[in-house]
């Protein structure tokens, strides 16, 4: 449900040294005329002293809801509930995660906890990446891949320290993992704040922004546990029952390996576009108005995850086409 009184929450990820603290300091000190609360983790890079800064430890809790990979950030539920009792309204909340954190529990918190979902909404996952070190971090750490995979916006920071050729290389490497994140090249995280906060990236209607040219993903990764993306397009309308069976079963059985999924669907006999977006096993879906006149009614789906080759995704999607 869209609710204008929900406070948007931006999740900030990125490896140690990438520049998260630089960005947080900008958010807290720049004259932007807005009231932002910042939730920092106690193992952060350096202390930031401000009334609107809240200390948190990353407490990842398992939920007993039958969803085997469902973890949430318990401390976040507590802190967001507390912040919602403030007399003064916040314009946005920014959550910093530690360098080695998996972004999934933070994102899942907004799907699972009703109080959090009623009063706040996940706005975007912003990942600060170090242009110098990202390539080696992606080789050495699963967490770095996950942070890129989950991102809606990637600040490719410290570009001034890298040659043009290397920037193209690291940009391509990011694109292979995540075809739909917006990449902003920065020096000292100097991107305009309105390109970082208040994006509404998790709103279902933003799924409609998936551009067809993102959907040409190459496919030459080296290790089976690399995070990659796959996408499919169909001009033939899909059968709703078949799709629900396939997709429901897919998330149930492979949701641990599917980090994010998004799609726009054209169902046979339906006038409206259906959109969905998911984080691991959890997803949000809804009809999103009629198809624009004069435009192709094509279904488009994107998966980001590990081991996607072994999920028979193409075959599964093809089988959903209506007869």
Partner 1 sequence: MNADLETLQKSNKTELERRGSIFNIGAPATEAVTIRDQIAVGFGDGTVRFFQSGSDPKTVKAHKGVVLSMTNYEDHVLTGGEDGRFLKISSDGNIDEIFNFGSKWVDCVASHKDTKVCSSGKTVYIWTKNKDKPQTLEHQSTVAGLAFDNKGKRLAVSRYGGVTVWKLNNNKWTASNFTWKGSHGTVTFSPDTKYIVTAMQENQIHGWRINDKADLAMRGYPSKIKSFTWVGDTPYLVTSGSSDAVCWPFDGKEGPMGRKPIVVANGGKELATFVKALNGEKAVFTGFTDGSVLLAEIDESKKPIMIRSSTGAEVSTIAISSDNSQILIGDMKGSILLSSLWADN
Q: Is 79 in the site for partner 1 (CB under 8 A)?
A: yes
Distance in Å, CB of 150 to partner 1, minimum: 23
The Cα–Cα gap between 208 and 183 comes to 18
Sequence-separated (6 or more) residues with CB below 8 Å from residue 245: none
Site string for partner 1, 20-59 (x = CB under 8 A): -----------------------------x-x-xxx-x-x
Binding of partner 1 by 68 (CB under 8 A): no
Rounded to a whole number of angstroms, the minimum distance from the CB of residue 1 to partner 1 is 15
On the 0-12 / 13-18 / 19+ scale of CB atoms within 10 A, 141 is: middle
Q: Of 30 and 115, which has the nearer Cβ to partner 1? A: 115
Q: Where are the beta strands (DSSP E) in 57-187?
A: 60-62, 71-73, 92-96, 120-130, 153-157, 182-185
Q: What is the secondary structure of 229-267 as a DSSP string?
A: EEEEEESSPBPHHHHHHHHHHHHHHHTTTEEEEEEEE-B
The stretch among 100-108, 112-120, 248-256, 286-294 that binds partner 1 (CB under 8 A) is 112-120
Contact present, 287 and 204 (Cβ < 8 Å): no
- Interface characters, 81-100, with partner 1 (x: CB under 8 A): -xx-xxxx------------
Q: Name the β-bridge partners of 11.
A: 95, 125
User: Residue 53 Cβ, how far from partner 1 at the closest point, in Å?
Assistant: 6
Least Cβ distance, residue 43 to partner 1 (angstroms) = 13
What are the residues binding partner 1 (CB under 8 A)? 49, 51, 53-55, 57, 59, 61-65, 72, 74-75, 77-79, 82-83, 85-88, 113-115
């Amino acid at each position: 449900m869209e609710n204008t009184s929900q406070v948007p929450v931006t999740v900030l990820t990125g490896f140690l040294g990438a520049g998260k603290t630089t960005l947080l300091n900008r958010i807290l000190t720049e004259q932007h005329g807005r009231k932002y609360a910042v939730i920092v983790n106690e193992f952060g890079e350096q202390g930031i002293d401000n009334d609107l800064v809240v200390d948190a430890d990353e407490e990842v809790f398992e939920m007993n809801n039958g969803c085997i990979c469902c973890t949430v950030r318990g401390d976040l539920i507590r802190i967001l509930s507390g912040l919602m009792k403030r007399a003064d309204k916040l314009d946005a909340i920014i959550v910093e995660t530690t360098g080695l954190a998996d972004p999934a529990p933070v994102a899942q918190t907004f799907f699972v906890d009703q109080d959090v979902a009623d009063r706040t909404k996940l706005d975007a996952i912003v990942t600060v990446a170090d242009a110098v070190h990202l390539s080696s971090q992606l080789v050495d750490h699963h967490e770095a891949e996950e942070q890129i995979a989950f991102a809606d916006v990637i600040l490719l920071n410290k570009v001034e320290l890298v040659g043009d050729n290397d920037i193209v290389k690291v940009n391509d490497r990011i694109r292979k993992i995540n075809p739909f994140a917006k990449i902003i090249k920065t020096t000292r995280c100097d991107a305009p704040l309105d390109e970082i906060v208040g994006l509404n990236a998790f709103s279902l209607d933003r799924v409609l922004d998936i551009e067809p040219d993102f959907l040409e993903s190459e496919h030459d990764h080296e290790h089976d546990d690399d995070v990659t993306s796959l996408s499919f397009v169909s001009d033939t309308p899909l059968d709703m029952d078949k799709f629900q069976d396939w997709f429901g079963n897919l998330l149930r059985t492979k949701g641990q390996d599917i980090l994010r999924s998004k799609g726009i669907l054209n169902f046979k006999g339906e006038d409206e576009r259906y959109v969905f977006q998911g984080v691991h096993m959890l997803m949000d879906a809804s009809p999103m108005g009629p198809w624009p006149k004069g435009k192709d009614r094509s279904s488009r789906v994107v998966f980001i995850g590990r081991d996607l080759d072994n999920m028979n995704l193409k075959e599964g999607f093809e089988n959903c086409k209506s007869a």
